[in-house]
Amino acid sequence: MAETPSLDLGFVRSQFPGLHRGWTFFDNAGGSQILKGALERINSFLIERNVQIGGSYEVSQNAAKALYEARTAAMHLVNARRPEEIVFGSSTTALLQNLARAMQSQLAEGDEIIVTISDHESNIGPWDRLQANGVRLKVWPLNRDTLTLDLADLEPLMSERTRLVCVTHASNILGSINPIREIADFVHARGARLCVDAVAYAPHRLVDVQAFDADYYVFSLYKTYGPHYALMYGRYEHLLELDTLYHYFYGKDKVPGKLEPGNPNYELAYSTCGIVDYLATLGAMAGNDGSIRSRIETAFTAITAHEDRLTERLLSYLRSRNDCRIIGQSRNRGSLRVPTIAFRFDGRNAADLCAAMDRENIAMRFGDFHSRRLAEYLDLTDHGGMLRVSMVHYNTLEEVDRFTAALDRILSGDTGLAKAG
């Protein structure tokens, strides 16, 4: 059996300049730290190629090459078939809103779109608004006992009028990974398409849109080690069918430009190359000297193994406390949980606990994390909502131990923190 590749954490942490300011960053699901290589790409574009594409002169031609290089890097990152299947945008929320707008001419009154109660609002709100145009919205419920999405619950919702099913790849509260290929096969067999929000998945696991058979797949670069930007994969033939969001002379065949009104932010798109360079370097350091894509695969094998250790370290601590409720699975069975862990303590206000952790220079978050429908569905909105620790591969076991030691002090009353009323 082949040995699992390991991460050189010293090298990893050296690639993130923001890690060296005295803070432990456990709010990575809100936004990860940015790679040095991504920053370098941004700066090099702004210094060397900061002009509009489409000109005949050399600098403009080089700017266009940089944008194509960015799409090519993103193609390798998600395993798309061609660079033109990559659409850039300001955020996952904006990209999904744009997708919903661009799909309107395909949807007739009475057509149906299915969303899940467990999604971030980004993948619910844009589809909900289409009800004003006569589209019918249906909600795929979460099984309250298992906290999973069951195809048996999706089956009765689907009909001959179902056009699209929208689902998250991993919940930003539950941390659980949904079986996207299984869902895709189910949806496609019934004549509908699948739109996946991968914001909580892409920083942690290998993305392979061809293996997943997703029709649309969206995530944020600022949660995947880049700047505040995002990308959407769309199957090329589907992108051709979408309405143009740009000027009237951008025809339906102008893919992906017709979906990037005003053009993408070139320098932020170009940062994607820095993200891919970094992942390919991790793969090479683990012994893979193959293609860019194969090195990315090796990198995520090492990332997953390290993150599994982080996940278990924190879950084992939380399980040991009789005053703690873990939201979602309390064990990482089959590596089907990303290191995004939400929890509550009996009678404690999440906002107060978070404020106490601020004083320890540990960054985390409380609330509903913009998955409000799920928080309401599970009755988790009182006492400030939930606490959430969201780790990525640059975090360390020592940081987890520092966090749990601080939490012990806070919960024992050493800080004078009062219980919630």
In angstroms, the CA 350 to CA 356 distance is 10
State yes or no: pLDDT of 253 exceeds 70. yes
pLDDT at 29: 96
Give pTM, 2 decimals. Answer: 0.95
So what's the pLDDT on residue 415? 52
Q: What is the pLDDT of residues 189-204, one digit of tens each?
A: 999 999 999 999 999 9
Q: pLDDT at position 328, please? A: 94
How big is the chain, counted in residues? 421
Query: Mean pLDDT over all residues of the chain?
Result: 95
Asked whether the predicted pLDDT for residue 80 surpasses 60, the reply is yes
pLDDT tens by residue, 209-229: 999 999 999 999 999 999 999
Question: Token match 């695969």: residue?
Answer: 297
CATH code of the domain occupying 9-33+305-408: 3.90.1150.10
102-123 pLDDT tens trace: 999 999 999 999 999 999 999 9
Give the residue among 10, 2, 47 at the shortest CA–CA distance from 398. 10
Res. 2 pLDDT band, cuts 50 70 90: low
Q: What's the mean pLDDT in 80-87?
A: 98
pLDDT at 5: 84
Question: Which contiguous run of DSSP H or E holds residue 211?
Answer: helix 209-212
Of 76-90, 388-402, 405-419, the one with minimum mean pLDDT is 405-419
Token pair 């995002």: residue: 230
* Structure tokens that stand for 274 in this block: 């820095």
Backbone φ and ψ for 303, nearest 5 degrees, come out as -60, -45
pLDDT for residue 169: 98
Q: What is the mean pLDDT of residues 309-316?
A: 98
Residue 153, classified by CB atoms within 10 Å of its CB into exposed (0-12), middle (13-18) or buried (19+), is: middle
The pLDDT-based confidence of 6 (bands split at 50, 70, 90) is confident
pLDDT band at 207, cuts 50/70/90? Answer: very high
Query: Can you give the pLDDT at residue 127?
Result: 97
Residue 116 in 3-state DSSP?
strand
Choice between 2 and 111, residue whose per-residue pLDDT is larger: 111
pLDDT higher than 90, residue 417: no
Report DSSP letters for 40-109, one per residue: HHHHHHHHH--S-TT-SSHHHHHHHHHHHHHHHHHHHHHT-SSGGGEEEES-HHHHHHHHHHHTGGG--T
In the prediction, which pLDDT does 421 show? 39
- Region 238-246: mean pLDDT is 97
Buried b (16+ CB within 10 A) or exposed e, 399-419: bbeebbebbeebbeeebebee
DSSP H/E element including 340: strand 340-345
Percent of the chain with pLDDT over 90: 94
The strand pairing partners of 168, in sequence order, are 197
- Using the predicted structure, report yes or no on whether residue 78 has a pLDDT greater than 60: yes
In this predicted structure, what is the pLDDT of residue 414? 58
- When comparing pLDDT for 381 and 71, which is higher? 71
Yes or no: domain 38-276 corresponds to CATH 3.40.50.1000: no
Can you tell me the distance from the alpha carbon of 245 to that of 257, in angstroms, rounded to the nearest whole number? 9
CA-wise closest residue to 32 among 231, 304, 309, 221: 221
With contact defined as beta carbons under 8 Å apart, do 417 and 410 qualify? yes
pLDDT confidence tier of residue 1, bands split at 50, 70 and 90: very low
Q: Are strands 24-25 and 362-363 parallel, antiparallel or unpaired?
A: parallel
pLDDT of residue 418: 43
Average pLDDT over residues 303-326: 97
Spatial separation of the C-alpha atoms in residues 243 and 99, rounded to whole Å: 9
Label residue 288 by pLDDT band (50, 70, 90). very high
Per mean pLDDT, which range of 30-39, 177-186, 378-387 is the poorest? 378-387
Asked if the model's pLDDT at residue 420 lies above 70, the reply is no
Domain ranges within the chain, ordered by starting residue = 9-33+305-408, 38-276
| Burial category of 369 from C-beta neighbours within 10 Å (exposed 0-12, middle 13-18, buried 19 and up) | buried
Q: What is the rounded distance in angstroms from the CA atom of residue 381 to the CA atom of residue 222?
A: 27
Q: Could you list the beta-strand ranges (E) of 368-407.
A: 386-390
